[in-house]
């Protein structure tokens, strides 16, 4: 009998279904975690559907993992049985390259993603958090404050760090006007963080009906990107734009929003259209950003504990996952699905 129950995509087009498999034995530096909750990221769907052309099946998605330690390896002193912990998008790296030494494990050439990445220990590919348990190198395990409403914590491990990291890197703070494009899982965390950091935060959305929510989440203004008059009214006024759009789209209408010399950061891994004129006039920048390092992820979790920030979530059972994915693809989620993993254990 395999030691772990999970759910997997078996092909780019099938619904995801039960899949049992073996996790590795706990090694000297490992932590074994019983998973209580796992968030649902749009990347889970991109990978299952092979949108990036490199998926190997079966894909067990899930990189927003929260649970309790059930066992630690002989060399692990920083975690103990019963402790509340989390795992995000990475489960290993070389720990020796410049990126690893700089705390930027996400850029290590040997970084191992939590799912659908070649598995250096078990062979095949790694399996993520749509499962009852996981065994992870302790360097990639995060501590979570018991003070937070833990059901809203899992999405911090991807949607949270992915938006926190660029906001910190580009020094967002009071006196700056920041636009967050797309009110989904990443976007709603972007709005919470940018406003907690003191910026004047504007939600830039295709969905006018999300406006009220955006304000509740911390946005001072709402800008409907499909309305050229509204876009014109905000021209040349933004210090920073955080773009979370998950599908191919046209950047050109957004570039005039930036002040000269300012930056739009792209988070979605998707083709975009851009005429260089949008950058040339005003020496503007386009950049990308990938999750965040382990040290910064712990800093983000501590920031959340200090500011009482968690995700706004809709809890589902694993058996409802296919309908939940359909809703994510329609932009119909407020604002992250989290799977109650008890539904897989019953």
Which partner, Zn ion, ligand NAP, none, binds residue 127 by CB below 5 to 8 Å per kind? none
Which partner, Zn ion, ligand NAP, none, binds residue 244 by CB below 5 to 8 Å per kind? ligand NAP
- Per the document, the length of the chain is 346
Which partner, ligand NAP, Zn ion, none, binds residue 185 by CB below 5 to 8 Å per kind? ligand NAP
Cα-Cα-Cα-Cα dihedral sign, residues 240, 245, 250, 253: negative
Which one of 69, 84, 328, 339 is in contact with ligand NAP (CB under 6 A)?
328
Q: Please state the closest distance from residue 12 (CB atom) to ligand NAP, in A.
A: 15
Q: Please state the closest distance from residue 324 (CB atom) to ligand NAP, in A.
A: 11
Which one of 67, 129, 184, 218 is in contact with ligand NAP (CB under 6 A)?
184
Nearest residue to ligand NAP, by Cβ distance, number only: 184
Which partner, Zn ion, ligand NAP, none, binds residue 172 by CB below 5 to 8 Å per kind? none
Quick check: 192 binds ligand NAP (CB under 6 A)? no
Q: Which is nearer to ligand NAP, 144 or 180 (CB)?
A: 180
Stretch that binds ligand NAP, among 16-24, 25-33, 128-136, 182-190 (CB under 6 A): 182-190
Site string for ligand NAP, 103-142 (x = CB under 6 A): ----------------------------------------
**Touching ligand NAP, residues 269-298 (CB under 6 A):** 269-270, 289-291
Rg (CA), the chain: 20
Q: What is the 3-state secondary structure (H, E, C) of the chain?
A: CCCEEEEEECCCCCCCEEEEECCCCCCCCEEEEEEEEEEECHHHHHHHCCCCCCCCCCECCCCCEEEEEEEECCCCCCCCCCCEEEECCEEECCCCCHHHHCCCHHHCCCCEECCCCECCCCCCECCCCCECEEEEEHHHCEECCCCCCHHHCHHHHCHHHHHHHHHHHCCCCCCCEEEEECCCHHHHHHHHHHHHCCCEEEEEECCHHHHHHHHHHCCCEEEECCCHHHHHHCCCCEEEEEECCCCCEECCCCHHHEEEEEEEEECCCCCEECCCHHHHCCCCEEEECCCCCHHHHHHHHHHHHHHCCCCCEEEEEHHHHHHHHHHHHCCCCCCEEEEECHHHHC
Evaluate whether 201 touches 237 at the Cβ level (below 8 Å): no
**Touching Zn ion, residues 148-177 (CB under 5 A):** 158
Evaluate whether 62 touches 109 at the Cβ level (below 8 Å): no
Site string for Zn ion, 23-62 (x = CB under 5 A): ------------------x-x-------------------
Q: Which is nearer to ligand NAP, 290 or 316 (CB)?
A: 290
**Touching ligand NAP, residues 7-46 (CB under 6 A):** 41-43, 46
Which one of 129, 160, 182, 278 is in contact with ligand NAP (CB under 6 A)?
182
Site string for Zn ion, 63-102 (x = CB under 5 A): ----------------------------------------
Q: Please state the closest distance from residue 302 (CB atom) to Zn ion, in A.
A: 20
Site string for ligand NAP, 197-226 (x = CB under 6 A): --------xxx--x----------------
Evaluate whether 31 touches 43 at the Cβ level (below 8 Å): no
Q: Which residues bind Zn ion (CB under 5 A)?
A: 41, 43, 158
């Amino acid at each position: 009998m395999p030691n772990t129950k999970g759910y997997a995509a078996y092909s780019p087009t099938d619904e995801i279904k039960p899949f049992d498999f073996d996790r590795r034995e706990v090694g000297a530096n490992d932590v074994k975690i019983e998973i209580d909750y796992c968030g649902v990221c749009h990347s889970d769907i991109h990978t299952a559907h092979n949108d990036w052309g490199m998926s190997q099946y079966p894909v067990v998605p899930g990189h927003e993992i929260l649970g309790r330690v059930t066992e630690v390896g002989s060399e692990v002193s920083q975690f103990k049985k019963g402790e509340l912990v989390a795992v995000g998008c990475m489960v290993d790296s070389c720990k020796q390259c410049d990126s690893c030494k700089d705390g930027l494990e996400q850029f290590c050439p040997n970084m191992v993603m939590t799912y659908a990445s070649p598995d250096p220990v078990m062979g095949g590919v790694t399996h993520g958090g749509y499962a009852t348990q996981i065994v992870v190198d302790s360097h990639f395990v995060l501590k979570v404050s018991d003070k937070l409403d833990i059901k809203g914590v899992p999405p911090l491990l991807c949607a949270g760090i992915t938006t926190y990291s660029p906001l910190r890197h580009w020094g967002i703070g009071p006196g700056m006007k920041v636009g967050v494009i797309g009110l989904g899982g990443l976007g709603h965390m972007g709005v919470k963080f940018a406003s907690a950091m003191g910026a004047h935060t504007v939600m830039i959305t295709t969905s006018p009906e999300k406006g009220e929510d955006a304000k509740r989440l911390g946005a001072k203004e709402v800008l409907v990107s499909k309305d050229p008059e509204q876009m014109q009214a905000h021209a040349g006024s933004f210090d920073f734009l955080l773009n979370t759009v998950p599908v191919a789209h046209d950047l050109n209408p957004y570039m005039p929003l930036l002040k000269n010399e300012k930056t739009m950061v792209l988070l979605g891994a998707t083709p975009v259209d851009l005429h260089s004129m949008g950058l040339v006039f005003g020496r503007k920048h386009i950049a990308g950003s990938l999750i965040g390092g382990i040290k910064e992820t712990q800093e983000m979790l501590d920031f959340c504990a200090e500011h009482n920030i968690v995700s706004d979530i809709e809890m589902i059972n694993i058996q409802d996952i296919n309908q939940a994915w359909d809703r994510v693809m329609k932009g119909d989620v407020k604002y992250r699905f989290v799977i109650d993993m008890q539904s897989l254990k019953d």
